[in-house]
């Protein structure tokens, strides 16, 4: 049985924050949006909610969510009438104020410093955190509040477009950060944390978010203690769980089972930070809100799809973790597969989390078992370039000298459904390659009976087919390769790009994925988190392959640090009549 209180009482900290702010400030009340809000002061997310809410109520009153109402928070969604009916008009002081306490478990670690605290600060800067919030760092390391603040302050940055008052904002933010030293399996230490959280919550309705930024072997201990000794008794309690969610079907199922002893499924937010990346979030917008794409999105027009991840650095510092997992578990089974599912799903009934996740899981369950012959694995070796020696994977002291763990993998996958029958979905992921990037490439079929093939002036139009590239990072952008006439009196064609480069089009800096995901977790939006059946389906696909690779002790193809990876990846693509788009001369 779950000892966490369920998230039924999910009154939005967000709306109650801003609505209480609006109500308590007469000068704001007298302005008008619809009666009284200066939209520019508010987090973009709460603007949307306020707009939606006021549409729902229709009389311009400032409203907040009742304890049982669910506001649909998809980017294009408007609350259903049912949800709207559950919205309550807030009168002055009519509703108890709420607060959010965020506990970063494992606060002394790499991820907390690098991503979580900076994302929380960015949300604070943008006005996206509720008026009443507290952040607690929790870990075994001995630290005072001042030491935590000092540590955190070193990793906070201001966006280029948001320098105004940044120093002041940082000071304010740091004052809301505290630290509690404790063991992850100590009820007593979580009881003390609970007392401290209560002091900060000051009798308000308390909502609690725990971010498990710790190694997976201690997830369950921490959840057990937080559940029994530090869950909220008046509001919601949610737990963000970082990957890895197990190493295979069996261990993942065991982890889910253990977590569910203490949590309901809707309290578990399994994070896949690739789903929080701007261009991944945009994938559905691109496809479902542009008439020109959706009709082409099938085997009829698409020859193959490629999901490519590469890093230009090795496993430096994380070899101990990595050797137990390898690149297939680290990147393919989660990040790339999640993107594939989003890419290939049928049109969901709505943008609701459950509708989207239902469609994704159907894709995953329609996938053909992966054949070992359709997979290439590699491992980087040391190389010297320009007088600099780059280490090989097994040069890391935390990695066994005879490790066969792949640091590179390429695979051909297939979705056995009517839309995608026969279309190769190629994945490629590697560390210590020549570049850092993540992209989705859609290669379209040839133009049948192409008129211009006969006089294209040297361009082989059977090879230069249209290609849509969604560059997730770096230099976020979307471009479409088209065949075009070279200006002039003759008839010569070349391939050019219709190019949407985000930095040229949008002046706003792109938020980090962790910002979006943290905000979603606070708002109770589950669309970008992994449901347990999605996770089961993802493991069901990869577990037999991983088992076979490991049982057969498959030797990876060695590739030099900083290279383009194993040659085997080209043969794999060629076997399916495909060329990797990222390696063509004209990318
Ligand atoms: N770092 C990254 O870039 C990414 C990390 N992740 C995942 O996020 C989680 C956290 O990652 P990261 O911050 O790198 O992890 P760390 O290894 O830095 O661990 C976080 C904290 O957990 C505590 N800890 C570490 N090892 C143990 C142990 N064996 N027993 C008990 N406590 C331990 C330490 O705190 P203390 O000793 O003070 O208690 C440490 O500071 C992991 O699940 C990781 O897989 C996911 C994606 C990327
Ligand atoms: O989950 C992980 O992701 C990072 C890459 O994330 P990015 O946002 O920097 O692209 C990867 O380095 C790490 O090995 C993996 O665990």
Residues 106 and 209 in one domain: yes
CB burial readout 241-260, b (16+ within 10 A) else e: bbbbbbbbbeebbebbeebb
- Which residue, judged by its Cα, is nearest atom 4 of ligand 1? 111
509 lies in a domain? no
454 lies in a domain? no
256 lies in a domain? yes
The minimum-distance atom of ligand 1 relative to the CA of 216 is 43
403 lies in a domain? yes
Residues 121 and 253 in one domain: yes
Residue 316, number of CB atoms within 10 A of its CB: 11
Rounded Cα distance, 149 and 165, in Å: 18
Q: Which of 221, 249, 271 is the C-terminal boundary of a domain?
A: 271
Rounded Cα distance, 358 and 376, in Å: 31
Residues 266 and 279 in one domain: no
Task: Supply the pLDDT for residue 317.
Answer: 78
pTM of the model: 0.86
Query: 82: which 2 tokens?
Result: 């049912």
377 lies in a domain? yes
Residues 560 and 416 in one domain: yes
128 lies in a domain? yes
Contact residues for 28 (Cβ-Cβ < 8 A; gap 6+)? 21, 22, 36, 37, 38
Going by pLDDT thresholds of 50, 70 and 90, the confidence category of residue 456 is: low
* Residue range 473-496: mean pLDDT, rounded: 93
187-201 vs 219-230: helix crossing angle, rounded to 10: 50
Rounded Cα distance, 62 and 307, in Å: 45
Active site residue 335: yes
The minimum-distance atom of ligand 2 relative to the CA of 438 is 10
Handedness of CA 364, 532, 269, 179 (dihedral sign): negative
Residue range of the domain that includes 40 = 13-89
First vs last Cα of the chain: how many Å apart? 54
180 lies in a domain? yes
Residues 283 and 381 in one domain: yes
Task: Supply the pLDDT for residue 85.
Answer: 32
Phi, psi of 248 (to 5 degrees): -165, -175
Task: Supply the pLDDT for residue 7.
Answer: 36
Q: Which of 26, 55, 89 is the C-terminal boundary of a domain?
A: 89
Domain count, the chain: 3
- Report the CATH number at residue 351: 3.30.360.10
- Which residue, judged by its Cα, is nearest atom 13 of ligand 2? 330
Residues 182 and 44 in one domain: no
pLDDT tens profile 318-370? 878 899 999 999 999 999 999 999 999 999 999 999 999 999 999 999 999 99
The minimum-distance atom of ligand 2 relative to the CA of 335 is 1
Residues 167 and 266 in one domain: yes
* Residue range 565-585: mean pLDDT, rounded: 94
Residues 218 and 282 in one domain: no
Query: Ligand 1 in contact with 515 (CB < 6 A)?
Result: no
Active-site entry in 132, 335, 446, 570: 335
- Report the CATH number at residue 121: 3.40.50.720
Number of H helices, E strands in the chain: 19, 20
Residues 335 and 285 in one domain: yes
DSSP β-ladder status, 493-501 and 467-473: unpaired
What percentage of the chain carries pLDDT values higher than 70? 81
406 lies in a domain? yes
CB burial readout 18-40, b (16+ within 10 A) else e: bbbbbbeeeebeeeebbebbeee
- 481 alpha carbon, distance to own chain's centre: 27
pLDDT tens profile 275-312? 999 999 999 999 999 999 999 999 999 999 999 999 99
Query: Ligand 1 in contact with 227 (CB < 6 A)?
Result: no
Q: Which of 60, 89, 118 is the C-terminal boundary of a domain?
A: 89
């Amino acid at each position: 049985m779950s000892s966490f209180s369920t998230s039924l009482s999910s009154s939005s900290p967000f709306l109650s924050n801003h609505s209480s702010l609006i109500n308590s400030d007469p000068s704001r009340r007298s302005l008008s949006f619809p009666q009284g809000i200066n939209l520019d002061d508010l987090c973009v997310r709460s603007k949307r909610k306020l707009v939606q809410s006021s549409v729902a109520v229709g009389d311009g009153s400032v409203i907040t969510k009742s304890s049982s109402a669910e506001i649909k928070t998809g980017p294009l969604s408007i609350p259903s009438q049912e949800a709207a009916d559950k919205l309550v008009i807030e009168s002055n002081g009519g509703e108890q104020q709420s607060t959010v306490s965020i506990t970063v478990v494992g606060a002394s670690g790499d991820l907390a410093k690098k991503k979580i605290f900076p994302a929380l600060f960015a949300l604070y800067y943008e006005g996206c955190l509720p008026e009443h919030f507290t952040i607690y760092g929790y870990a075994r390391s001995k630290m005072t509040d001042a030491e935590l603040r000092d540590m955190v302050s070193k990793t906070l940055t201001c966006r280029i477009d948001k320098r105004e008052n940044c120093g002041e904002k940082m000071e304010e933010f740091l004052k809301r950060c505290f630290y509690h030293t404790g063991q992850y399996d100590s009820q007593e230490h979580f009881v003390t944390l609970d007392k401290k959280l209560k002091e900060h919550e000051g009798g308000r309705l308390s909502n609690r978010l725990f971010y498990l930024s710790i190694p997976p072997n201690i997830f369950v201990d921490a959840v057990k203690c937080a559940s029994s000794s530090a869950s909220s008794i008046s509001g919601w309690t949610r737990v963000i769980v970082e990957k890895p969610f197990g190493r295979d079907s069996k261990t993942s199922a065991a982890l889910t089972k253990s977590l569910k002893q203490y949590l309901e499924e809707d309290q578990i937010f399994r994070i896949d930070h690739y789903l929080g990346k701007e261009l991944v979030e945009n994938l559905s917008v691109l496809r479902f809100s542009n008439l020109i794409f959706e009709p082409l999105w099938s085997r009829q027009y698409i020859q193959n799809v490629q999901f490519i991840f590469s890093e230009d650095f090795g496993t430096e510092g994380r070899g101990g973790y990595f050797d137990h997992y390898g690149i297939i578990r680290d990147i393919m089974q989660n990040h790339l597969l999640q993107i594939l599912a989003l890419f290939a799903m049928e049109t969901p009934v709505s943008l609701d989390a459950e509708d989207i996740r239902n469609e994704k899981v159907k894709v995953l369950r329609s996938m053909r078992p992966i054949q070992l012959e359709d997979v290439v694995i590699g491992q980087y070796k040391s190389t010297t370039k320009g007088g600099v020696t780059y280490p090989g994977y097994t040069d890391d002291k935390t990695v066994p000298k005879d490790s066969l763990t792949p640091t590179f993998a390429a695979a051909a996958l297939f979705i056995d459904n009517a839309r995608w029958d026969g279309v190769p979905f190629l994945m490629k992921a590697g560390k210590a390659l020549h570049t850092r990037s993540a992209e989705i490439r859609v290669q379209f079929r040839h133009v049948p009976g192409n008129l211009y093939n006969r006089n294209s002036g040297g361009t082989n139009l059977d090879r230069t087919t249209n290609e849509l590239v969604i560059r997730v990072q770096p230099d976020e952008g979307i471009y479409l390769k088209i065949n075009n006439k070279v200006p002039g009196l003759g008839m010569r064609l070349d391939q050019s790009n219709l190019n949407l480069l985000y930095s040229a089009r949008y002046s706003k800096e792109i938020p980090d994925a962790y910002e979006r995901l943290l905000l979603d977790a606070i708002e109770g939006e589950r669309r970008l988190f992994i449901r347990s059946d999605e996770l089961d389906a993802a493991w069901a696909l990869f577990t037999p392959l991983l088992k076979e690779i490991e049982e057969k002790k498959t030797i990876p193809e060695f590739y030099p640090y900083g290279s383009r990876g194993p040659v085997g990846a080209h043969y794999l693509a060629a076997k399916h009549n495909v060329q990797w788009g990222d390696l063509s001369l004209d990318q």
